[in-house]
Amino acid sequence: MAGHEYSADKNGRITIPYSAQPGMQKIVLVSGNLASLGDLRHEAETYNLQVGFHVEREALLKGRKATLAVRPSLTVSGMPAPLSILEEVALVVSSVTTTAWPPPRKWPTSSSSRTRRAPSSST
């Protein structure tokens, strides 16, 4: 492909790096004395992080403590990817009341951890 040869690993998988110029590429697949011409859609390296969250409405009442459930989902070029590839991960929470705009609070977290509890706060 484009003058590069990629070999299969011991499981028969061929890993091709992402492209800075994505698009269709002609490839030649070779196995022993057999060869076959084919097409490959060479993908760009694109990241997408989506985050869903849930908090009970009753916990948002004045003076109550709220637990925030956060569910992140990371994909690389449309394929699921482990959160552990993220660096400097932090949860930043901002809240607004009718009378004030307090500064946001930040809780560092580990991307290798599935669950992280923020320190309790009565604010």
Beta-sheet pairing, 34-42 with 47-54: unpaired
What pLDDT is stored for residue 89 in this prediction?
Answer: 86
Instruction: Fill in the amino acid letter for 67.
Output: T
In sequence order, the 6+-apart residues with CB closer than 8 A to the CB of 42 are: 1, 16, 18, 19, 21, 22, 23, 24, 25
CB 39 within 8 A of CB 26: yes
What pLDDT is stored for residue 36 in this prediction?
Answer: 93
What pLDDT is stored for residue 111 in this prediction?
Answer: 46
pTM of the model: 0.59
User: Mean pLDDT in runs of 10 for the chain (123 residues)?
Assistant: 82 88 89 91 91 88 84 92 88 78 73 48 44
What pLDDT is stored for residue 119 in this prediction?
Answer: 46
